[in-house]
Chain A
Amino acid sequence: MLHKTPLGQVLGLGSARAGTGHFIAQRVTAIAGIPLVVFLIGFILVHRRASRAEIVASLENPVVAILLALTLINLLWHMRLGLQVVIEDYVHTPARKHLLLLLNIAFTAVMGISALYAILKMSFGL
């Protein structure tokens, strides 16, 4: 049964039926984030005074490269979902809200693709 007035249906407002999936993905990426953050802090700590060559050498190990890529993708995904909720909580002007929601997606996409580019390039020894 659809709990919507005919006008509501026409306007296309109301639940987009995506809320539960969003909630679950936020928790799953949070749980996965716990060990991945430990790895990330460890990686940064080990390389805090490293030269470029030393970082390249570490990333030539595929386990390290894949773990680092996984860490970034997971955290970026988590933060995109998180910021979406923040925007929806505070921004109610439709135009501004939709613009910010799009910028949120664009920003995370650029971050993710840049991170993957950097990690892959170095892991191929370049």
Chain B
Amino acid sequence: MADSRQAGRPLSPHLQIYRRTLTMMMSIVHRATGMALYAGTLLLVWWLMAAAISDSYFAMVQSIFGSWIGQLVLLGFTWALIHHTAGGIRHLIWDMGRGFDLASVETSARVTLAASVLLTIALWAIAYGVM
């Protein structure tokens, strides 16, 4: 980054200068989950392709997704999908010109985060037959 002493004019400080806030993290995480989900579609299409190919290949892919590491990746995928969708709804509400004052933005950040974690836990509880 440019050195402000060399630029001969005031420059705005770089990212690490700012105090981290929840709303700032939410913005970054929306983009990060979008990119993670982009890569994740590879897994979804792999699963569908496997099912279209053969019994033995599909059984192999199912066992990979069923392994502990596969389940961990799918748990992350689930949370990213739910969090990004909830965050997307938050964006769409802003697009309608609502909820953009500081207090609402702060509240909706907390609601989105809590909802994404709770929904992920609930889904996996259903998947494992706990609920």
Query: Does B38 reach chain A (CB closer than 8 Å)?
Result: yes
Q: Are B52's CB and A117's CB within 8 A?
A: yes
Residue among B31, B38, B54, B126 facing the most chain A CB atoms (10 A cut-off):
B38
Q: Are A30's CB and B91's CB within 8 A?
A: yes
Q: Are A111's CB and B41's CB within 8 A?
A: yes
Complex CA–CA separation, A32 to B47 (angstroms): 23
Q: Are A45's CB and B127's CB within 8 A?
A: yes
Among A48, A76, A118, the residue within 8 A (CB) of B49 is A118
Query: Does A34 reach chain B (CB closer than 8 Å)?
Result: yes
* B residues in contact with A53, CB < 8 Å: 55
Query: Does B64 reach chain A (CB closer than 8 Å)?
Result: no
Query: Does A115 reach chain B (CB closer than 8 Å)?
Result: yes
Complex CA–CA separation, A76 to B41 (angstroms): 8
* A residues in contact with B81, CB < 8 Å: 37, 41
Complex CA–CA separation, A34 to B54 (angstroms): 32
Q: Are B52's CB and A82's CB within 8 A?
A: no
Q: Are B48's CB and A115's CB within 8 A?
A: yes
Q: Which residues of A in the span 11-42 have a Cβ within 8 Å of any Cβ on B?
A: 27, 30-31, 33-34, 37, 41
How many residues of B sit at the interface, in one of the four size bands?
Answer: 20 to 34
Q: Which residues of A in the span 88-120 have a Cβ within 8 Å of any Cβ on B?
A: 111, 114-115, 117-119
Query: Does B51 reach chain A (CB closer than 8 Å)?
Result: yes
B29 to chain A, nearest CB (A): 14
Q: Which residue of A lies closest to B34 (CB)?
A: A82
Determine the main DSSP class of A at the interface with B.
Answer: helix
Can you list 22 residue pairs at the A/B interface with Cβ under 8 Å?
Answer: A30-B88, A30-B91, A31-B92, A33-B88, A34-B89, A37-B81, A49-B62, A51-B59, A52-B55, A72-B45, A83-B34, A83-B35, A83-B38, A86-B34, A86-B35, A111-B42, A114-B48, A115-B44, A115-B45, A118-B48, A119-B52, A122-B51
Q: Are B51's CB and A52's CB within 8 A?
A: yes
Complex CA–CA separation, A49 to B71 (angstroms): 12
* B residues in contact with A72, CB < 8 Å: 41, 44-45
B61 to chain A, nearest CB (A): 10
Complex CA–CA separation, A36 to B17 (angstroms): 40
Q: Are B92's CB and A30's CB within 8 A?
A: yes
Q: Which residue of A lies closest to B52 (CB)?
A: A118
